Amino acid sequence: MNRKIKCVAIDDEPLALDVISKFCERIGNVEIQVFSDPGEGLDTIHKEKPDIVFLDIEMENKTGLEIAAQLPESSCFIFTTAYLNYAMDGFELDAVDYLHKPFAFSRFETAFRKALRRIGPKEKEEDRYIVVKQEYNNVSISLREILYVEAMEGYVKIFREDGICTVSRITLKNIGALLPDNDFIRIHRSYIVNKSKVRSFNKREVELKNGLFLPIGRQYSSEVNEALSV
């Protein structure tokens, strides 16, 4: 089972903290702690070293910019504020993103995914995963469990080693952008495979370790040969 993504949110507006908590719940597999006291929140960040920190910039006792400057170097943080004039200051502190209040769930999810991509390489292989939508739910899928992805019309099927197939309304190109190039390769206009699951291959097809054969598109042949021959 994938570990939960640990998050901390600091904001002196209870309503803002409630929104962030609900959005994290919608994403799924997230453990969120919220603080209206900046000092208390900063202490928790130093003790527990969360994966992602959400910081309001304009607060009474201490600004989010001041807190960001005191975060551990490994911290991945996103600013949330109603004041656009702080944007440049935020990015100079290496913020992942800048959410302008009030923000919709779709915008929050975009920022969250950007943060996941930044922290992804720091995680152990068994902890890496993608989050996709299946109907009205968000589904976390471990990268090491994926066998291959198949394109449909406006959808993809994600096949896993345990036999589970997740269907998501996303294009193959967009799901490919979520998958690390070092581990996955597109072999056909309709297929992306996990390199570690390939047993053998030739110019026309690859054989996966479960015995399944998938075709190699002519335009992908050279790239596939180069990637899988390493």
The pair of three-digit structure tokens given for residue 199, joined into one six-digit string: 């047993």
CATH superfamily of 125-228: LytTr DNA-binding domain (2.40.50.1020)
For the cut 60, the answer to whether the pLDDT of residue 175 exceeds it is yes
**What is the architecture, at CATH level 2, of domain 5-122?**
3-Layer(aba) Sandwich (3.40)
Euclidean distance between CA atoms 189 and 163, whole angstroms: 23
Instruction: Return the C-alpha torsion angle 143, 146, 147, 148, nearest 10.
Output: -90
Domain ranges for the chain, please list them: 5-122, 125-228
Widest CA span in the chain: 65
pTM here is 0.53
Euclidean distance between CA atoms 108 and 78, whole angstroms: 10
Three-state helix/strand/coil letters over 101-168: CCCCHHHHHHHHHHHHHHHHHHCCHHHCEEEEEECCEEEEEEHHHEEEEEECCCCEEEEECCCCEEEE
pLDDT, one tens digit per residue, over 121-169 is 544 444 578 888 888 888 889 898 999 999 998 899 999 998 899 999 9
- Are 5-122 and 125-228 in the same CATH fold? no
For the cut 50, the answer to whether the pLDDT of residue 1 exceeds it is no
Token pair 């053998």 in the structure block, residue: 200
pLDDT, one tens digit per residue, over 85-107 is 655 554 566 788 889 899 999 99
The SS3 call for residue 94 is: coil
